[in-house]
Amino acid sequence: MQFSKSLLLLAALTTGTLARPQGFERRQTTGTSSSSPSSSSSGSNGDWTSTPSAGQASSSGFGGHTDSSGNGVTYAGNVGNPYGSNIIEISSSDASKYKYVAQFQGSSSDDWTVAVFNKYGPDNKMDGWYGNAVKTFSLAAGETKYIAFDDDSQGGWAAAKGDKIPTDGSGGYASTWGEFDFGSSGNSGWSGFDVSAIAAQKAGLEVQGMKICDALSKTCSSITPNAASVDNAYTAAQTDVGGIGGNLSGDAVRLAVTLDYSG
């Protein structure tokens, strides 16, 4: 995807102290390949995959937009003002009004917890995944929820069965991650996403199944339980590799996230 490498690798490069799950850094490079969504513009359509007309996306519920800074591995985009207000839960009927939306589909058999975080934490350090989730929610078996993201938001979500997210020895979320970059100002408006098992594998913990597909371009990234099958996604073996995942040039994004994915 358009992050040049993973978020955790980014942190390791800039601080030298954090684990190295992959995703965010690679999204800061200029892409050479793209998937251009064939979206249907209809902000009033109840279908969550419908997208608003150009310039007509809703900002209802979002806070102020923070200025970007840095470049490459240190790039910091919009984290919301107040902090975390760049990421909000919305209804299915409102999803078509927003530019960047992820649909989370729960497990068919178990309750799961999802923690969504910004790349940068509230102290302006690259530690958003160290207990700084801005949106944590549960998904009952078979339940679906929708999250909208403001322009220039970078971060990820950790997901696991039960009522809490496993953590590593330093307190970082250590389950399977989804990573995102929506409308990056530092990358000419590109967006990107991937699934990553790096945090879980580096911590020696369970790798949960997850699949993310861009519903418009049909580009997907997936990992099955224990990383038995990996498709266009990150494991610890690809920690230093760039470009894995979905790279999306401009326009609205609709990510369909399947938790407890088993293939």
What pLDDT does 134 receive?
98
Q: What is the pLDDT of residue 187?
A: 84
Distance of CA 236 to the CA centre of its chain: 18
Looking up tokens 């009004």 gives 97
Helix (H, G, I), strand (E, B) or coil at 11: helix
Q: How many CB atoms lie within 10 A of CB 36?
A: 11
- Euclidean distance between CA atoms 150 and 237, whole angstroms: 32
Q: What is the pLDDT along the chain (263 residues), one digit of tens a residue?
A: 444 455 554 454 343 333 333 445 544 344 444 454 444 444 444 699 999 998 899 999 999 999 999 988 889 999 999 999 999 999 999 999 999 999 999 999 999 999 999 999 999 999 999 999 999 999 999 999 999 999 999 999 999 999 999 999 999 999 999 999 999 988 889 999 999 999 999 999 999 999 999 999 999 999 999 999 999 999 999 888 888 999 998 789 999 999 999 99
DSSP 130: T
Q: Output the CA–CA distances (angstroms, integers) from residue 243 to 37, 178, 230, in the order listed.
A: 18, 15, 15
Alpha helices by DSSP H, 121-254: 198-202
Select the CATH number that applies to the domain covering 3-35+65-259 from these four: 2.130.10.30, 2.40.40.20, 2.60.110.10, 1.10.1670.10. Answer: 2.60.110.10
Q: Tokens for 57? A: 């996306």
What does the pLDDT read at residue 153?
97
- pLDDT of 39: 44
Do the beta carbons of residue 154 and residue 206 sit within 8 Å? no
Extract the tokens encoding 152.
Answer: 């220039």
Whole-model pTM over 0.85 = yes
pLDDT at 225: 98
Is residue 234 within 8 Å of 22, Cβ to Cβ?
yes
Q: Which residues are registered as beta bridge partners of 87?
A: 149
Q: How many CB atoms lie within 10 A of CB 163?
A: 9
Q: Which residue has the tokens 């993201």?
A: 149
Q: Which ranges of 4-133 does DSSP label H, i.e. alpha helix? A: 7-15
The pLDDT value recorded for residue 5 is 53
User: Distance between CA atoms of 176 and 179, rounded to whole angstroms?
Assistant: 10
